[in-house]
Chain A
């Protein structure tokens, strides 16, 4: 995780702030920093999104490709996540510095998308045993200001919402060769139901309390933190991501906190996505450059 030096007294100031439910930027313990999103930012990807939480800036592009299903899962498609921690985001990522964090985040996404109730891979199957879609989800960290897990999972969700897979009009097996016919109409495409896609939420324990959406400074002075994946009102992952330990009862608080907060966050996200879609349909918006 990003490293930012803090003196003991500064840490204590942050700790007391969490106790008083008044954090170093005025937020309460379960407030998020302002977020921004935009979908369909990359024309060459079939689904893309940019998501920012304060200065943590994530760009996701999805490309579907045709693959052969694995022999033990003949009627399922595939999804692969790839996180790239670019040295532009944080100098510590230079060289192989970001590799460990990248593989941690990749694994966490993989785990949280692994349940068929969270993400249904069967819908990506074209012809059982022979052809399926494989989704390559490439994630780029443009800037890092803490709370990468949340930002990335939200960005992935937005990109999957935006994803348009060409519609297969017919798939025939012809003497062992597969004959696929894709629709000629570019607007004729399949979409993924994004409503129940899981989101990850980082919870940091500072003092006796849990906080959501930690800034870099807060990440540095927390004793332990965990990532929880939530889909609807079910939990898909829990993973501790820092070395400290916490009391057994904290786990219950953590679960309660994430379930309620994630539900609210999910509602807001879907609302914003739908609003953006309506706006894009009603009037063409001129962009001067894609990052602005």
Chain B
């Protein structure tokens, strides 16, 4: 039988009550952040009358003398060494254009990938012509930020076996400010699946594949994923969406906590807003206890 659930909006609980007092100061637009003059202004700020003022609503971040304001919702601002997940939007001469959730499309040069058939092989004209065979429009890939150009656009590279084209799985898009920067963004979770938490807010959930077998990172496995793996993947996906709905930082531990909290529910029950919030908040509580 079909599963139909219709809720009444008049009975919808108000989740805003759950927001606890934050201990960090929130700056609103136009507010003076500091009156001292010896600071440098970073992202999300502007200079007026010699004061640094906030141009977005968010929390102020200070690195040495640089002050910036980080908003809750933002496009991804790349940094060298970040792990990202992106989607090919266009193929042009010697390069792929990649959507990485940043303001401008990023580029992946053909010279910054490992060509199939050995790392030391020389690149030839044939490779340029068969670029579409390696990565097509709309294909997904994982990569690392190699360089940031002056206009903020990124150049990527996949010169490691862990990077490359992504095969079967689910992509989830969350706000980049929810991604916790860590040493490792590739995780094989204890529940038996792998996640790539891109710094750009794109998260890839997929079955575990053996890296050595992938050979150059452009091969794809299109065999059906086993039902058990699929269930876990979808559960993790729903958990990540729950975390994102509750504004919990997303990293391997928080995902695992949410996953454990979700076990008492069916996977499809996690689509309901109340279950979703419950899982998210429980995971948050456990993270707070940890700290």
A265 in contact with B4 (CB, 8 Å): yes
Ordered nearest first, which 3 A-B pairs have the shortest CB separation? A26-B267, A38-B9, A26-B268
A25 in contact with B4 (CB, 8 Å): no
Contacts of B169 in A (CB 8 A): 9-10, 13
B272 in contact with A34 (CB, 8 Å): yes
B222 in contact with A26 (CB, 8 Å): no
1/0 per residue, CB under 8 A from B, across A2-20: the answer is 0001111110110011011
1/0 per residue, CB under 8 A from A, across B155-192: the answer is 00000000000111111000000000000000000000
B9 in contact with A30 (CB, 8 Å): no
Q: Say yes or no: A27-B139 contact (C-beta < 8 A), given A13-B170, A19-B224.
A: no
B231 within 8 A of A: yes
A9 in contact with B8 (CB, 8 Å): no
B238 within 8 A of A: yes
A26 to chain B, nearest CB (A): 3
Q: Say yes or no: A25-B2 contact (C-beta < 8 A), given A5-B87, A6-B138, A12-B222.
A: no
How distant is the Cα of A8 from the Cα of B224 in the complex, in angstroms?
A: 13
A237 to chain B, nearest CB (A): 20
A170 within 8 A of B: no
A36 within 8 A of B: yes
What's the dominant secondary structure at chain B's contact region?
A: mixed
B34 within 8 A of A: no
How many residues of chain A have a CB within 8 Å of chain B? 45
Q: Which of chain A's residues has its CB closest to B206's CB?
A: A13
A195 within 8 A of B: no
> Which of A66-74, A96-104, A269-277 interfaces with chain B?
A269-277
Contacts of A280 in B (CB 8 A): 10
B5 within 8 A of A: yes
Contacts of A33 in B (CB 8 A): 271
Contacts of A17 in B (CB 8 A): 230, 234
Q: Say yes or no: A9-B5 contact (C-beta < 8 A), given A22-B231, A22-B234, A26-B266.
A: no
1/0 per residue, CB under 8 A from B, across A254-279: the answer is 00000011001100110010011001
How many residues of chain B have a CB within 8 Å of chain A? 44
Q: Say yes or no: A27-B3 contact (C-beta < 8 A), given A6-B138, A13-B170.
A: yes
Q: Which of chain A's residues has its CB closest to B169's CB?
A: A13
Q: Which of chain A's residues has its CB closest to B1's CB?
A: A264
Q: Which of chain A's residues has its CB closest to B12's CB?
A: A36
CB-contact partner of B4 in A8, A264, A275, under 8 A: A264
How distant is the Cα of A23 from the Cα of B227 in the complex, in angstroms?
A: 11
Interface residues of B (CB under 8 A from A): 1-12, 14, 87, 89, 136-140, 166-171, 220, 222, 224-225, 227, 230-231, 234-235, 237-238, 266-268, 270-273
CB-contact partner of B136 in A8, A50, A212, under 8 A: A8
How distant is the Cα of A30 from the Cα of B3 in the complex, in angstroms?
A: 7
B140 in contact with A31 (CB, 8 Å): no
A37 in contact with B237 (CB, 8 Å): no
How distant is the Cα of A206 from the Cα of B267 in the complex, in angstroms?
A: 21
How distant is the Cα of A5 from the Cα of B88 in the complex, in angstroms?
A: 10
A96 to chain B, nearest CB (A): 24
1/0 per residue, CB under 8 A from B, across A27-55: the answer is 11011111111100000000000100010
How distant is the Cα of A269 from the Cα of B8 in the complex, in angstroms?
A: 10
A285 within 8 A of B: yes
B243 to chain A, nearest CB (A): 16
A24 within 8 A of B: yes
Contacts of A264 in B (CB 8 A): 1-2, 4
B9 in contact with A37 (CB, 8 Å): yes
Contacts of B11 in A (CB 8 A): 279
Which residues of chain A from 53 to 83 have any CB-CB distance to chain B below 8 Å in the complex? Answer: 54
How distant is the Cα of A272 from the Cα of B7 in the complex, in angstroms?
A: 7
A7 in contact with B87 (CB, 8 Å): yes
CB-contact partner of A34 in B139, B224, B273, under 8 A: B273
B2 in contact with A30 (CB, 8 Å): yes
How distant is the Cα of A26 from the Cα of B273 in the complex, in angstroms?
A: 15
CB-contact partner of B7 in A22, A35, A260, A265, under 8 A: A35
B6 in contact with A36 (CB, 8 Å): yes
B124 to chain A, nearest CB (A): 26
How distant is the Cα of A7 from the Cα of B238 in the complex, in angstroms?
A: 21
Q: Say yes or no: A7-B139 contact (C-beta < 8 A), given A27-B3, A35-B6, A268-B4.
A: yes
How distant is the Cα of A30 from the Cα of B1 in the complex, in angstroms?
A: 7
